[in-house]
Amino acid sequence: MSDNLIYKKKNVFEENPVHDEIFAVSDRYIEFLNTCKTERACTRYFVERAKKNGFKALDFKEKLKPGDRFYALNRDKSVFFGIMGNEPEKDGIHYCAAHIDSPRLDLKPQPLCEDSGIAMLKTHYYGGIKKYQWTALPLQMEGVAVTRDGKTVDFSDNGYTFCITDLLPHLASEQAGKTLGKAIEGEDLRIICGTIGEQTQENDKIKYNVLKILNERYGITERDLISAEISFVPQLPASSVGFDKSLIGAYGHDDRICAWTAFEALMSAAPSGRTKLVALVDKEEIGSDGVTGMQSSYFDMVVDKLCESCDKHLVNLKSKCLSADVNAAFDPIYPSVLDKQNASILGCGPTVTKYTGARGKSGTSDASAETMAYFTNLFDNKEIIWQSGLLGKVDAGGGGTVAKYIANRNVDTVDIGVGLLSMHAPYEIASKADVYETVRAFRVFLED
Ligand code: MN
Ligand code: MN
């Protein structure tokens, strides 16, 4: 009796004495992280794998049949993977939604400048970052430009390394006295990109030489940078962390860890007759706005297609969604911002979060008791190790996810995700145990 009375978290490593399978899943996840550091790279990777699994591009003009496996790729930056079920109106749709954009530095439209013998690129940060973490760190270039003749040029995998400088400690007494948020200003996040001048040039010799290199390699001019979409992300490879190699250190766990696990779950889910949809979207880090964000009506276009032969409103009412996004794992070095009893603990499985938001639950969909119970009972019945956790202490700050945008469409939605240490840093930490168990959790929901 007393065993059942008290709720206790379980540890995935301790409950699974043999760890081979847990480590094998993470090896594949690490491989994915090393090739996919932007949303474009992610959609490319996922579509390629889905095609090998028999998924076909969704034809909005053709009728879907039960069992059809499809993907809908939206502007190369968000993508939906689905399996058509028998009767959406009777069964509803089971959704998993995650985002594939991560905090980074984007170039300004006119980025290239030169000062005191150094050519630099001006940036504007994307998403919530601690600016000081982005200095003295190797960066790589990602993204595309579209030239005057309509040709798309891809900058990914170009082998170049870049960096933003920081001040030497010897001369940083003034900087050291500033607050953390002010020590490095947004305008100072300028990326070093060259120091060799072009002898024939009078002014901006180094800038000219950089443009020459870009033109020779990519056929682009300074004007083409105005329309380009160029990002800089950490160049560090994802790797196992710790003597026991139980952790994964990487850029972009938020939220590729949930995107990858949801995708894995769909690819390995047993057929159930219920319609399943995994939404991997862009722009979450800046508010989910825009054509490729969760608020875009592209989502409705896909759902309309699934509900072609039935009433979409009735389908929504019967549908359920796991809004999959990372959470803040309890960090013993910073215990003051989390209520340990209600925080995500590394290695104890995916964290189910009833509500997110800030200042009195503002900006969250706040799942109902019935919806929470459906998911937690399902996980317990299927022997999934899960845990309850909230993002921070009351009034410590807060955050939101895509959950509300799906819930606003009248779909019962709960937040779930992997707890991270150093979330939003250039190198975030996750537990391999949580990656493993999160795939299992998504799979039982998609199969239900
Ligand atoms: Mn996120
Ligand atoms: Mn985030």
pLDDT tens digits for 13-29?
Answer: 999 999 999 999 999 99
Tell me: pLDDT of 8 over 70.
yes
Greatest CA separation found in the chain? 86
Ligand nearest to the CA of 281: 1
Residue among 69, 103, 375 at smallest CA distance from 255:
103
Contacts of 396 (CB under 8 A, 6+ apart): 337, 338
Contacts of 192 (CB under 8 A, 6+ apart): 118, 119, 120, 162, 163, 164, 165
pLDDT tens digits, 255-277: 999 999 999 999 999 989 999 99
Confidence category of residue 4, pLDDT binned at 50, 70, 90: confident
Q: DSSP letters along 236-262, please?
A: PPPEEESTT--EEEETTHHHHHHHHHH
Tell me: pLDDT of 133 over 90.
yes
Q: Mean pLDDT across the stretch 77-92? A: 96
Ligand nearest to the CA of 97: 1
Strand 327-328 relative to strand 320-324: parallel, antiparallel, unpaired?
unpaired
Backbone CA torsion sign across 430, 441, 39, 27: positive
The residue ranges of every structural domain in the chain are 2-102+251-447, 104-234
CA distance 82 to 331: 37
Position with higher pLDDT, 344 vs 198: 344
Ligand nearest to the CA of 100: 1
Strand partners, 98: 280
C-alpha 246 chain-centroid distance:
21
Tell me: pLDDT of 445 over 90.
yes
Tell me: pLDDT of 1 over 70.
no
Distance (Å) from CA 21 to ligand 2 centroid: 28
Distance (Å) from CA 1 to ligand 1 centroid: 39
pLDDT tens digits, 196-222: 998 888 889 999 999 999 999 999 999
CA distance 5 to 7: 7
Distance (Å) from CA 62 to ligand 1 centroid: 34
C-alpha 403 chain-centroid distance:
14
Tell me: pLDDT of 113 over 60.
yes
CATH entry 3.30.450.20 includes domain 104-234: no
Distance (Å) from CA 304 to ligand 1 centroid: 26
Query: What CATH number should be reported for the domain whose range is 2-102+251-447?
Result: 3.40.630.10
Q: Residue 309: count other Cβ atoms within 10 Å of its Cβ.
A: 10
The SS3 of residue 5 is helix
pLDDT tens digits, 40-53: 999 999 999 999 99
Residue among 253, 235, 236 at smallest CA distance from 26:
253
Burial group, residue 308, by CB count within 10 angstroms (0-12, 13-18, 19+): exposed
Confidence category of residue 2, pLDDT binned at 50, 70, 90: low
Distance (Å) from CA 27 to ligand 1 centroid: 22
C-alpha 416 chain-centroid distance:
13
User: What is the 3-class SS of 9-51, one letter each residue?
Assistant: CCCHHHHCCCCHHHHHHHHHHHHHHHHCCCHHHHHHHHHHHHH
Distance (Å) from CA 101 to ligand 2 centroid: 8
The SS3 of residue 163 is strand
Ligand nearest to the CA of 128: 2
**Matching residue, tokens 């196992």:** 240
Distance (Å) from CA 327 to ligand 2 centroid: 9
Tell me: pLDDT of 3 over 80.
no
Ligand nearest to the CA of 326: 1
Distance (Å) from CA 335 to ligand 1 centroid: 21
Q: Mean pLDDT across the stretch 165-186? A: 96
Contacts of 441 (CB under 8 A, 6+ apart): 265, 322, 349, 350, 379, 384, 386, 416
Ligand nearest to the CA of 401: 1
Ligand nearest to the CA of 423: 2
**Matching residue, tokens 């502007």:** 75
Residue among 269, 293, 389, 264 at smallest CA distance from 101:
293
C-alpha 255 chain-centroid distance:
2
CA distance 415 to 390: 10
Strand 229-234 relative to strand 239-241: parallel, antiparallel, unpaired?
unpaired
Residue 193 sits at φ, ψ, to 5 deg, of: -135, 10
Q: Mean pLDDT across the stretch 85-111? A: 97
pTM of the prediction?
Answer: 0.97
Q: Residue 377: count other Cβ atoms within 10 Å of its Cβ.
A: 10
Q: pLDDT value at position 248?
A: 98
Taking CA 444 as the corner, what is the angle to CA 439 and CA 447, rounded to the nearest 5 degrees? 120
Distance (Å) from CA 377 to ligand 1 centroid: 25
Q: pLDDT value at position 199?
A: 82
**Cα dist. 226→157, 160, 233, 235, 254 in Å?**
21, 21, 20, 24, 28
State what percent of residues in the chain have pLDDT above 70.
Answer: 99
Contacts of 148 (CB under 8 A, 6+ apart): 223, 224
**DSSP-derived secondary structure letter, 350:** P
Asked if 129 contacts 286 with a C-beta cutoff of 8 angstroms, the reply is no
**Matching residue, tokens 């009248």:** 410
Interhelix angle 253-268/39-52, nearest 10 degrees:
10
Structure tokens at 310: 């039935």
Distance (Å) from CA 255 to ligand 2 centroid: 7
